[in-house]
Chain A
Amino acid sequence: MKRLVVPLLAIAAWLLPYGLDPYAIHVVDVAIIFALLGIGLGLVMGVAGQINLAQVAFFGIGAYTCAILTTRAGLGFWVAAALAVLAAVAIGLVVSIPALRVQSHYLGIVTLGLALAFINWTTNAALAGKSEGISDLPVPPLFGVDLSSEYLFYYVEIVVFAIALAFALFVVRSPLGRRMRAMRDDSLAAGALGAEIPLLRITAFVLSGLYGGVAGVLYAGLIRYIAPETFSIANMFLLLAMVIIGGRQSIVGCVIGAVALSLIREVLVDFSVYAQLGYGTVVVLMVVFAPTGLAGLPVRLRARLRGRTGGDRRGPAELRPFTPYGEAPSGDPTGVVLEIRAVGMRFKGLRALDDVSLEVGAGEIRGVVGPNGSGKTTLFNIISGFYTASSGRVVLRGTDVTGAAPYRLAQLGVARTFQNLRLFGDLTVRENVLVALDRTRTSWIWRYVALPWTVVRQDRALSAQADELLDRYGLTDFAGARPQSLPYGIQRRIEIARAMAMSPRLLLLDEPAAGLNGEEVRLLGEMVRSLRDSGVTVVIIEHNMGLVMSLCDQVTVLSSGRVIADGPPAAVAVVPEVIEAYLGDSTYMSHESQDTTSRDATSQDTTSQDTTEAAR
């Protein structure tokens, strides 16, 4: 059935012009151009999560460059078109630079500024024909086919559109698109999994520039007249409405939204005051009631229906046992894996860490314990690159990595989990694991254009590995589920599986037992031991003292940002300072703790006053 969709659509697209009058075909031609813009905006905003209000400027740059080069410089249409697309891509590259530093609404302001600057330039520059625009663009030549006929131009457009849509779908479903979606859901976690965030953001804007440029060129060839009003902020809003109504996270949704709104705009052309009001209302309603847009409606309806009929009909999904890893193939590598030298960390006036030093040997399980606010998570954030230490050095296998970006550390073999879980919510469990499995560098992306089949082959290989990994962790039944829909204990295991998918050499576990029941904690202990046996060095923050005592080879105790004890568990437990530090701060429940990576990881609570059994 699914296989028939593409040929059927192709035939429908082929025959469509025969049923249309010249007006309708023109409307369709314009709608296709908006659909291309919608794909570009969907890629950058929906898939990569970068707010981009400059899409209409990319569109304009494509159209204007093409117009200026053909009418003023006398270049041929297709040469000008190629240069115009390059220009739009180049501007996309420029716009991505602020995106490296600012995000969300700040990025919105920056890109909006660019769009306004572009409109200003076109209305004032003599080169761009000022407000009267540029007329008399040449008809694109095509082996004697008369492209001034909008029917024939339609076929050119539909071919370009099909290629563009196929490429966009390919990108979204490929490892690159998965990384972008992971970045959208949680850029910190994506960085910790080795996704090169800066390069990914640049790629997203470049793609958006590419689609904008192509749409601009087609516009220039179709209308053969350009003026600033076409690229106004009002049209940017229209574009935004198309993407939001269609469903920004789905490329097909963006296309549907663009085509639907273009057609509705034509129907409403005689009531345009109300039309603007109508778009506004519809956008607001969609955002509030159907944030995933038209494309997300079937899924939501199905979910609603299933909720009403009471549960799914599939067999009961269960968490299967973990299959331990084999022993490390080679003899235990000896030496120091991680060395922290006199690290200090200050947040304004607050001293979170003060002169902390520790060494973790290869194949060790190191516990880091201490009362809430003692700086444990801050230490993890420094090791994994989220924070840069105010003083001191972090050395990884003899390499100084102080201040390295998370993705760089990830590439060097550092993996971590998070205190309060940072799974990618809009990705399936399988995709979560796949993001981590993909160890290719983002600079590999030239292959998407040049050698797409190698991407497919690689993706297939990753897929097999993912199945194997999910099976090892007993997660096969949940491969297609969204993490949020799963019980907490399973999410914990997914996070460990995801971290292990990176084949790390150093694994940082931040309170992995938090929220687990007794049996689950026991299984966790076995799992961590198996991970160590496979050659991974483990550092674990944990409040469950039973687990720490039974699992760890060495324990480091932090209190108020200082190391107060360091040694084998039994030795540490009797150090007077440790008992004192724990006096009044014992049976920690992890749910009290707050966001690990936010600055308030160090802000303090002085909760329960119980004594700890375990610390004794």
Chain B
Amino acid sequence: MFPRKLHRTITAAAAVTALATLAACAAPGESTGGTADATGPIKIANVNAQSGQLSPLGKWENKGVKLAIDAANKAGGINGRQIQLDLFDNQGDPTVGTNLARKIASEGYIAMLGTSESAVTLAMAPILKDAKIPNITSGQSPKLAALKSPFLFLNAPTSVTYDETLAKYLVDTKGYKKIALITNNGTYGAGERDAFLASLKTRGITPLGDEVVTPDQKDFSASLTTIRQQEPEVLFIGAEEVESGLIAKQARELGLKAVFAGGAPMGTEPYLTTAGQENAEGSVVSSPYLSNDTDDASRTFAAAYQTAFGEEAEVHGAKAYDGARILVEALKQTGGEGGQKLADAIRATKLDGLLGDFAYDESGVGIHATQIGLVTSGKLVPQTAS
């Protein structure tokens, strides 16, 4: 009994050792890796939240991307190869994002468009950088630019640009001094708050009030009552579309007279509908994409968007559309090749897009200015900044 048991143990040990030696010859995973085919369709991944709180953003982005890629495919693709666009849902969760980064890397995708959540993009960036997959994101957190990843590009300005332009208009042009803030503590709201406060600081202005709410809050009367007592001339709102609208509506109901100011969400349809035209009137918006009616390019885009999806285009779709077009241009330069070559091509691409003239710097930011618009009779009217 005993010797047999011993014998079995020795055999097992020997087997393990043999396997270990065998295994030691090659560490796993060295040779594998997603190698893209030179034939067949060019695979592009669109990663966005399709479920969860931020899924509306993800859906808009996906429509913008789809529009651009479909147009490119209709025009013959890249060197005769079609672009295959696949949508992945990150659920707004960074962990899922990292899983997806590995997935697209191993399944031969050569570029990625999205995400609209900066936190997810931040989580994915190191993996995509290692896999040499260029990513044109819709996030606008300054942290994205701070990464200085050679494979990460933004399809819009960072929050800093939005708020610098806004502060410049409000303080330098209009001469407002009494300013209060209300922002949410989500990624977007917190970024807006930090950037706007920084812009005010350089102008020597201390805000009268600085209220922070949560992204899923619906009643803001407590914060707004505090702000009303401070009698600001301007109320800066840093929140997503619907929440901004709710804040504007409730502020007016409480008798707050201040001018509303904020970033891109406040130029959108959901904001105007939620706030009500009367309440939204006069809102100052800093956005790279003011309306579907600014020039021929935006009118063409809006018309195509309307035909394809049966709804009105808005800024997120426009951003994603620009990003996708840049990618298509760059792919034409590389002839469908990915990797470092594609990243270089994207950096070199100069595009006259819906959001402005793209010219990428080393931090991956392509647009360095926004425009100021005023909500006038339910429409965003561009202001020629002084």
Given A123-B185, A151-B27, verify A133-B51 contact (CB < 8 Å).
no
Q: Does A7 contact B (CB under 8 A)?
A: yes
- Smallest Cβ distance from A239 to chain B, in angstroms? 12
Residues of A contacting B94 in the complex (Cβ-Cβ under 8 angstroms): 133, 223, 225-227, 229-230
| Cβ B29 vs Cβ A17 within 8 A | yes
Kindly name the residue among B102, B105, B107 whose own CB sees the greatest number of chain A CB atoms within 10 A. Answer: B102
Do A26 and B102 touch (CB < 8 A)? yes
| Minimum distance in angstroms from A26 CB to a CB of chain B | 4
B99 contacts A266, C-beta separation under 8 Å: yes
Chain B CB within 8 A of A289 CB:
no
* Cβ-defined contact, A269 with B89, below 8 A: yes
- Most A Cβ at <10 Å: residue of B33, B52, B88, B125: B52
Q: Which 9 A-B pairs have the closest CB atoms?
A: A23-B106, A17-B28, A26-B102, A151-B29, A23-B102, A131-B187, A227-B119, A21-B106, A225-B123
Please report whether the interface of chain A is mostly helix, strand, loop or mixed according to DSSP: helix
In this complex, the member of B16, B122, B131 whose beta carbon has the largest number of chain A beta carbons within 10 angstroms is: B122
- Whether B106 lies near A269 (C-beta < 8 A) is no
In the complex, B126 has a CB within 8 A of chain A: yes
Chain B at the A interface: SS class: helix
Contact of B106 (CB < 8 Å), options: A14, A22, A224, A230: A22
Q: How far is the CA of A24 from the CA of B147 in the complex (A)?
A: 27
The answer to whether A132 and B118 touch (CB under 8 A), given A22-B33, A23-B103, A229-B94, is yes
Q: Is the CB of B95 within 8 A of A30?
A: yes
Q: Which residues of A contact B191 (CB under 8 A)?
A: 132
Contacting chain B: which of A270-278, A346-354, A549-557? A270-278
**Contact (Cβ within 8 A) B119 A14:** no
* 24 examples of A-B residue contacts, CB within 8 angstroms: A11-B15, A14-B20, A22-B33, A22-B105, A23-B99, A23-B107, A24-B106, A26-B98, A27-B99, A123-B185, A124-B212, A131-B187, A132-B122, A132-B187, A133-B122, A135-B122, A135-B143, A151-B27, A224-B126, A225-B94, A225-B123, A229-B93, A230-B93, A230-B95
Residue B96 lies at the interface, judged by CB distance under 8 Å to chain A: yes
A2-35, CB < 8 A from B = 3-4, 7, 10-11, 14-15, 17-18, 20-27, 30
Q: How far is the CA of A364 from the CA of B147 in the complex (A)?
A: 82
Which chain B residues border A10 with CB–CB below 8 Å?
Answer: 16
**A132 and B141: CB pair below 8 A?**
yes
C-alpha gap A26/B107 in the complex (Å):
13
Do the beta carbons of A223 and B98 come within 8 Å of each other? yes
Please name all residues of chain B whose beta carbon is closer than 8 Å to the beta carbon of A131 when the two chains form the complex: 119, 185-187, 190
Residues of B contacting A23 in the complex (Cβ-Cβ under 8 angstroms) = 99, 102-103, 105-107
Give the interface residue-count category, chain B: 35 or more
Does A270 lie within 8 Å of B122, measured CB to CB?
no
Minimum CB–CB distance from B171 to chain A (whole Å) comes to 26
Tell me whether B359 is interfacial, beta carbon within 8 Å.
Answer: no
Residues A272 and B89 in contact in the complex (CB < 8 Å), given A22-B29, A151-B27, A223-B94: yes
The answer to whether A7 and B16 touch across the interface, beta carbons within 8 angstroms, is yes
Query: Any chain B CB within 8 A of the CB of A102?
Result: no
> B92: nearest residue on chain A (CB-CB)?
A229
A454 part of interface (Cβ distance < 8 Å): no
Cβ of A230 to closest chain B Cβ, rounded Å: 5
A272 touching B23 in the complex, CB below 8 Å, given contacts A23-B102, A132-B143: no
Neighbouring A residues of B99 by C-beta, 8 Å: 23, 26-27, 30, 266, 269
A3 to chain B, nearest CB (A): 8
Q: Roughly how many angstroms separate A123 CA and B34 CA in the complex, as a whole number?
A: 36
Question: In the bound complex, how far is the Cα of B194 from the Cα of A130, in angstroms?
Answer: 11
Contact: B147 with A135, CB < 8 Å? yes
Q: Which residues 219-267 in B have Cβ within 8 Å of A in the complex?
A: none
Q: How far is the CB of B212 from chain A (nearest CB, A)?
A: 8
User: Is B333 interfacial (CB-CB < 8 Å)?
Assistant: no
Closest to A6 in B: B12
Contacts of B98 in A (CB 8 A): 26, 30, 223, 225
Is A149 an interface residue, CB under 8 A from the partner?
yes
A132 touches B93 (CB 8 A): no
Given A132-B122, A227-B94, A227-B123 in contact, is the A14-B27 Cβ separation under 8 Å? no
Selected from B29, B92, B125, B185, the residue in CB contact (under 8 A) with A150 is B29
Given contacts A225-B94, A225-B126, 12 further A-B contacts (CB under 8 A): A7-B16, A11-B19, A14-B16, A15-B19, A22-B102, A23-B105, A30-B98, A130-B187, A132-B191, A135-B125, A149-B29, A276-B51
